[in-house]
Structure 1
């Protein structure tokens, strides 16, 4: 896909430039502002609220990071906005809220959290939010069905596949054949990703390297937390998604 140089032009702050010890929590507007001040691109996670409104939050439950509890999907965006992150004044933003703050100061990469059912209705809601955003933005997901949904719904929107070897564990409900297809990106003929985000610890790997070398797809890595991992990424990929240090 032409015009994706911005995707790899600068390091990508994983869930924003968060630092819990100093009160900056992942996927918050504070983490977004910190990343912008440092000049990093931002990776964020979105999932649906009760009404399929895209909200920026990683875990499927509220318990780890907030003063609330239970599933994110059980509440509305308005209700979620009333729940504080532990030890901060930050609230859970919608994707629209997040983009309004970033306003193309830096690129944004939106990881869509799903249950591996594709969730095309939710993808359509995300695409609807992004269609009026004039900044540099891309979507990506572990779920090939989600990537394929964006291919059909918003073909001009840059889309990527997130993957790893899955050697340590496999997603619940999947067969080893399912995992093999994910590991080796065998859905590529259908999903037609514009870029790949692959686990840094699993590189080099045949499928992402082939897509990079043969087809010229940008390859970014996750999640880089050390200089050793950064050197590995520099050898095999085009850019890092990092946390825990200043890249």
Structure 2
């Protein structure tokens, strides 16, 4: 994040950054629009399954499609983060409410598991031990990534980068510490996304097909509602 404030960009870099930001925002907007469409698919599948018009094979195919779409989004984020990672940690395309719950550019993977506990319609008693074991494992991995994030944030003010800050007109070749910092932050974002992907796959493995569909539908409703609440709050504040 520091390089945007410490380094004075030339006009070419500014144009490039603007294009990169547009790509990042477009990816996010496309993903959120896709959430609306996927939610409709999931709700339709639930309705048909309750009438015995969808079998487990068909439900599993739908779940695999959702996971595949998530993988595509994660891969797109990773490619764009290699160019400019800073916006993913505080995205301007999200509302402040959405940003307030971000953890390394997204939701905490452990929150995926807590959502299961909150869904009273999903019976998890028979496999509770698996959920608890998964939750402990994911929380431990989250803590490792959080610790690395803290170290990277501390590195921003270490001597190499502080030296660059003394001269805002520094030559591009002297920006190596900032480039390295951005590379490390991109790696961290990628690992956090992989942990989110891993957690989702494990949850769907434990749930039955219909439970998995119900779970994803609830998760997408929450995500879309958070966006709506954030926009409504911003509108209320702007009208005051």
- TM-score under structure 2 length normalisation: 0.26
Give the helix-richer structure, 1 or 2: 2
Higher relative contact order (CA 8 A, sep 6+): 2
- Structure of higher CA gyration radius: 2
